[in-house]
A and B are shown apart, each in its own frame.
Chain A
Amino acid sequence: MFQYVLKRLLSTLPVLLGISLLLFFMLRMLPGDPAQVLAGQMASPDDIKIIRHQLGLDRPIFIQYGFFLSRLARFDLGRSARTQNPVIKEIWARLPNTMLLAVAAISLACLFGIPAGIISAVRPYTWIDYLFNSMALFGISMPVFWLGLMLVVIFSIMLQWLPAGGTGSWKHIVLPSFTLAAFVVAFITRITRASMIETLSQDYTTTARSKGLKERVVIVKHALKNALIPIITVVGLQFGLLLGGAVLTETVFAWPGLGRLIVDSILARDYPVIQGTILIFGLLYILVNLVVDLLYAYIDPRIRYA
């Protein structure tokens, strides 16, 4: 298992390097002096001079990249052009909010999506299967930000049950997490259905049934367990989609997370924060995929010995 983990960790290195290159060239693709861009519009010539020296902009490009990598390794992402706070501080302040929202949404999506997919697979081509399929399709086609606004209109303005935005109590997370969950539940329902239909037609399921096991045991212990790998893959992949959706959901509900931070930074052309937030989003996505791969090996031992 240790060897598998090590191998998997090493395989993320080229992607990490790719991300660093992307971020490095992102700043250099902008028109004008990168030092001026990083310092912001209000910076004095002295500030710009200091930043230019810090970044090694007066040296060859590969040395600049070396500087950049060394700063990244130390999580030194520079200072925000807007607030002058270290970028990493700005990110740490908002990361827990985004994670809370993402975990709440993915949990809700699994709580609804997996049972819905199982029911659809057990009763394929019945009214309930068509109902869940239609709901899944609606979920995929619905703009998440519109759904959020409609939930605000219904539950905050008309019924006045839940707050329209902000943080503070458990009530504040209900609407944003439901909005974000609707975004991914469709994929989870669809893959659970497809995966379960396949495992339910396998010989071992027929054997389990012929042994006289209860249908519930056959479904949960024999079919679902074997259908889990594609489901976990999709849940992992959806986490990335969820981070993209979080940008919109956080904007709708004024949720102080990373998504809101990156949008505010783009509008203010605060490039150090944009760079830092993109890096963190990329790292989060890689980390989730890593965890998913490790979960595969835990669920199916054949994978770690392959």
Chain B
Amino acid sequence: MHEMTQTQVIRNPHRQADSQLRRRWAKLRRNKAALFGSVLILIYLIIALLAPILFPGNPSAPNLMKSLERPSMEHPLGTDELGRSILGRIIYGSRVSLLIAIGVVMVGLLVGLPLGLISGYYGGKVDFGIQRVTDTLLAFPGFLLALALVAVLGVGLKNTIISVGISMVPIYIRLVRGCTLSVREQTYVEAARAMGTRDMTILIRHILPNVMAPITIQTSLGMGTAILFAAGLGFLGIGVQPPTPEWGAMLGSGRAYLFNAPHVATFPGIAIFFAVLGFNLSGDGLRDILDPRFKL
């Protein structure tokens, strides 16, 4: 009886997928670190969505009478050099940072995913060309590549997203190409090809779903890196520009007041740390669940 039930489950692909999902969810619930990471991301998402309710008013409006005030009941995290609430700016900063994180992985995916698929699937001269460009981009450490691109494109939110996004493209290309190389040799891909299925259909229907696991992991880890890179650019004064509340830029401006008001630089750093930690923990957890072979 038991054997029969198992066979039925295997025969029914929907039920099989369902049970696989349930198994993964159970694994996620058991992985406390990953769960903690997911909760952290969820908290940041809620803060970003409810920002106007959590902090009514303009977080960029200066109030020089309250400049560099220490944490108090009125301003729980104190005020910055222009008298703006640091808590308010951190709350609104979560919107900017999440936007950057999503924008950056979108750029990375939009460019890196198709190029990686094409490079891995077709091989030959196409692969050679794409890989030499990737090699060149990988010859620069990611942050430096983003820095070089900012030097060309200029500062600001949009250019930060593009620059950091492009710096992630070679990572996606390499990752997707590697997975595609192994998937394209599978019997089901060969069968699809033998049946005369078009390359585009094979790429989208048969190869793409099978490279999704490493992409999902990289996307979570990439969002953490994107926040760090963008905050780094903001800190150097070449990322998102004031008065937009961005954590890195807040830290950068707080650097000048380390002696008399260290809280100005302390709290934005904590905000960056927990956001990146959230994405890293979730990425690690996803790796354990989706692809345990890569567990370090």
Contact = CB atoms under 8 A, between A and B. Distances in A.
A285 B144 CA distance: 11
B232 A146 contact: no
Contacts of A142: 273, 276
B248 A21 contact: no
A18 B139 contact: yes
A21 B255 CA distance: 37
Given A18-B132, A146-B269, A191-B296, A266 B235 contact: no
Interface stretch (A22-30, A69-77, A91-99, A106-114): A22-30
B9 interface: no
B136 A15 contact: yes
Contacts of A266: 147, 150-151, 236, 238
Interface stretch (B180-188, B208-216, B259-267): B259-267
A281 B144 contact: yes
Contact of A278 (B132, B148, B251, B259): B148
A267 B132 CA distance: 31
Given A193-B296, A266-B151, A247 B258 contact: no
Contact of B228 (A14, A143, A281): A143
A243 B146 CA distance: 13
B111 interface: no
A2 to B, nearest CB: 24
A68 B6 CA distance: 68
A248 to B, nearest CB: 5
Interface of B: 33, 132-133, 135-137, 139-144, 147-148, 150-152, 224, 228, 231-232, 235-238, 248, 251, 254-255, 258-259, 262, 265-266, 268-269, 272-273, 276-277, 280-281, 284, 295-296
B232 to A, nearest CB: 5
A241 interface: yes
Contact of B141 (A26, A141, A240, A262): A240
A194 B142 CA distance: 24
A15 B138 CA distance: 9
Nearest to A156: B258
A150 B266 contact: yes
14 contacts: A19-B140, A140-B280, A143-B232, A143-B276, A144-B232, A146-B272, A149-B251, A149-B265, A149-B269, A157-B259, A193-B296, A194-B295, A244-B142, A285-B141
A263 B238 contact: yes
A51 interface: no
A21 B133 CA distance: 10
B147 A153 contact: no
A282 B139 contact: yes
Contact of A157 (B228, B258, B268): B258
A252 B269 contact: no
Given A29-B152, A153-B262, A248-B236, A286 B139 contact: yes
Interface of A: 14-15, 18-19, 21-22, 26, 29-30, 137-138, 140-147, 149-150, 152-153, 157, 164, 190-191, 193-194, 240-245, 247-248, 251-252, 262-263, 265-267, 271, 274, 278, 281-282, 285-286
A281 B140 CA distance: 7
Contacts of B284: 137
A194 B296 contact: yes
Contacts, number: 136
Sorted nearest first, the 6 A-B pairs with minimum C-beta distance are A18-B136, A146-B269, A244-B143, A244-B141, A240-B141, A141-B277
A245 B141 CA distance: 9
Chain B at the A interface: SS class:
helix
Contacts of A274: 148, 151
Contacts of A271: 151
Contact of A18 (B133, B281, B296): B133
B273 A252 contact: no
B286 to A, nearest CB: 14
Nearest to A12: B139
Contacts of B276: 140-143
Contacts of B251: 143, 145-146, 149
B296 A190 contact: yes
Contacts of B142: 241, 244
A244 B144 contact: yes
Contacts of B269: 143, 146-147, 149-150
Contact of B273 (A14, A143, A243, A248): A143
Nearest to B272: A143
Nearest to A142: B273
A163 to B, nearest CB: 13
A149 B238 CA distance: 19
Contacts of B272: 143, 146
A198 to B, nearest CB: 11
Contacts of B258: 149, 152-153, 157, 164
Given A18-B135, A194-B295, A244-B141, 8 more contacts: A137-B281, A141-B276, A143-B232, A145-B231, A146-B272, A241-B142, A244-B147, A266-B147
A248 B139 contact: no
Contact of B135 (A14, A30, A147): A14
A29 B265 CA distance: 36
B96 to A, nearest CB: 15
Contacts of A190: 296
Given A29-B152, A137-B277, A146-B272, A19 B139 contact: yes
B240 to A, nearest CB: 15
